[in-house]
Structures are given as C-alpha cells and as structure tokens.
Chain A
Amino acid sequence: MRWHLTEVQQDEILVGEPGAEAAEHLAKCGQCRSEAERLRAALGGFGAAVQDAAARPEGFWAWQRRAILAQLRQGTARTQKLAWAGAMVLLVLLAVALHFQARPERLVTPYDPDEALLMDVARTVRSEVPSALEPAALLSWEMDQAIRQGPGVGGQDSGPKKGERQ
C-alpha cells in the first residue's frame, strides 16, 4: 500500500466509528489491520483485566449487601431519632411562645416631658396654696390651732395635709 491510516483514522476505528475510506483501507491493508487489532486487543485486555480484578467470591457480595443494608437501617433509625428530637424542640418552642403570648402586656408609657409639665401645672392649679407659700400656710395653721386650744396645749396635731381647706 502506498499509504496507511492516519492517527485520527486509527482512533475512529478504536472508538468504533471508522469512516468509509478507513474501513475500506483496513480491509485491504494487512499492516494497518494488524496495528488496529493490536490496539483493540490492548483495550479489550484492559476491559478483561478490570473484569478479572473486580471478580470477588459470592461471600464478599453477600457481606457487602449486608453492610449496605445495615447502614441503611442505622441511617433510618438516626433519621427517626432526629425527627423526634426536632419535633420535641418544636413543641417546647411552641409552648414557650404561647406562654409569653398569654401574659397581659405591661403598659409602659414612655416619659414625656410635656406631659409631666402639664401634670405639674394641673396639680398646682388644684391646690389652694401655691407650693411656694406652703410653709407659710403651715405656720399660719399651727398658730391658729394654738390660739383655739389655749396655752399649754399644742403640737399634737400633725398639721394640715397638703391642699386641705383652711
């Protein structure tokens, strides 16, 4: 033969998809056929070597099945335990949430300086004596009491309460 298969054509033959020209050449050229057969044999030998290496006694496969199924059972049991634990945690969280939801909310009024000032003004207006004159009013009340009860008696009363009418 004047020519032989190219490397690409050889690869196509090994892959199993030879072109028409390559197939025709292979049928005629003993050298290329021999080379293709050698490469095919090497690849086939690899497949056979793997098959051989993977061959194990039946006991091994039975053991492997048992190992897989045991792991599956363990996994299932673990999953069930985790599911139960998760459910319990969820229940506890739900109970805590319900407990806090049931408690009446405390009214917490934020401090408002304007409101405080208004309250102070209202208290002052309600009282008959301005706060600045309260000591004088107390003194006046005590003197008045002393005069009413006469000499020697006094100091027993606790005095007027704030805002008491005189």
Chain B
Amino acid sequence: METTLTSRVGVAARTRAAEGIRAEEFEELVRLHQRRICRVLLAMLRDPDAADTLTQECFLRAYEKRKSFRGEARVETWLVRIAVNLARDHAKNRRRAFWARLLAWAKDEEPMVQAARVADPQASPERALTAREEVAAVWSVVEELSPQQRGVFVLRFVEEMPLEEIARTLELEIGTVKSHLHRAVSAVRKKIGHRDTETRRTAKG
C-alpha cells in the first residue's frame, strides 16, 4: 500500500518535473515518508529526539527546495539525501554530540533491549544473549564510523538499498560506496570478532 502511494506521488512528481512538488501534495509526501526518514536518522544518530527534530527539519528543507526538485531522482531518494546530509551536519557539531551523548547515556541500553526482542524467540538464552551483544556491538561500531561510511552502512543494512541506489542517493561513485561499505563491514567484523577460537588463516594455504 505504502509502496503504491509512494510510487504514485513519485510518478506524479516526475511527470511534472518542471513544476517541482506542489504545496498541496506536501502533506501526503510527509505522511508517506516520515517513518523512513525518521528511521534513517535514528540509525545514523542513535538519538530518538534528534531523529524526530531532524525529520521535521528534513521536510521543512524539502518544502523550501521543492521547486528545485526536477524529478531526476525518486522523491524518496531526494528526501533520504536531505536526511543524510542533515545527519552529517548534526554529527559535525561535536560539542552538541558530546552533550547529547552525556545526557542520553541512560538511553544507551534501549537499543539492546530492543535487540533482545528481535532475537529469535526459539533460540537458546545463551544464543539470544550473544545476539543482543552482537547487535549492540554493531550499534557502537556504527557510531564510530565516519558520517559518510555511516550513511552508506545505514542505507545498505537498515534500508536494504542496492549499491546503485545508495550511490544515487548520496551522489557518490559506486566505487566509493563499495569502499565505504567494505571499511564499515570490516570494522563490524573486527568488533564482533570470531566466535570460535580457531585461528583463521588470512590466506589460503
């Protein structure tokens, strides 16, 4: 349902490329995409309040720039691009990030609790605990990634976008996207480590 409506607005916007997005369409646009934008921002910032604030900011920016939307990309691609740029700018403000982290330290347990819910209910308690720890480790790795790498990682593993779409959204070369993704995945793998203690060969022998 959501996809159909999204496509409808997207197609409508594309067919009237020269006019940009009409003001009366905007409420519908917000309704269709606010969840996704909020999710991307939450994954990038790990701060629900900031994600909410920047979601609003994202749509306000989009409204201001709606006449410049020429339909070359899909509406959702355009919105996600604005959101990722906002998250990047937000992350640049280190002082704000420091205070936000300091004030939100108590909230840090929240994703772990949520991760517990996504763990397989059929899994053993030991496996569920391991899964929780691994998801928490991924969260902490994502926080340490550069804004660019974080954007690529989130779009790949949260939004499950193909690499080409990530490249279009972030206006990057596909090679750059792959490079960022490899670094991010490598960081995750190193953080999670190997479950078994067997020494792995780094080259076939």
Contact = CB atoms under 8 A, between A and B. Distances in A.
Contacts of B186: 7, 11
Contacts of B42: 50, 53-54
Contact of A10 (B27, B51, B189, B204): B189
B76 interface: no
B204 A6 contact: yes
A76 to B, nearest CB: 9
A52 B60 contact: no
B118 A11 contact: no
B126 interface: no
B157 A46 contact: yes
Interface in B69-113: 110-111
B111 A42 contact: no
Nearest to B114: A52
A49 B135 contact: yes
A2 interface: yes
Taking chain A's interface residues, is the majority helix, strand, or loop, or is none over half, making it mixed?
helix
A47 to B, nearest CB: 5
Contacts of B204: 2-4, 6
A141 B147 CA distance: 107
Nearest to B191: A42
Contacts of B134: 38, 41-42, 45
Contact of B56 (A11, A12, A15, A64): A64
Contacts of B43: 50, 54
B189 A39 contact: yes
Q: Select the residue from B178, B198, B204 with max chain A CB neighbours within 10 A.
A: B204
Contact of B202 (A7, A12, A15, A53): A7
Contact of B200 (A4, A51, A65, A71): A4
Interface string B38-51: 11001100001001
Contact of B27 (A12, A46, A52, A69): A69
B115 A3 contact: no
Interface string A89-119: 0000000000000000000000000000000
Given A45-B118, A45-B138, A65 B27 contact: yes
Interface string A44-88: 111111111110100001001101110110010000000000000
Interface of A: 2-4, 6-8, 10-12, 14-17, 31, 35, 38-39, 41-54, 56, 61, 64-65, 67-69, 71-72, 75
5 contacts: A15-B163, A15-B181, A42-B134, A54-B51, A64-B56
Given A3-B201, A15-B178, A49-B114, 8 more contacts: A7-B186, A10-B189, A15-B163, A16-B163, A39-B192, A42-B188, A64-B52, A68-B30
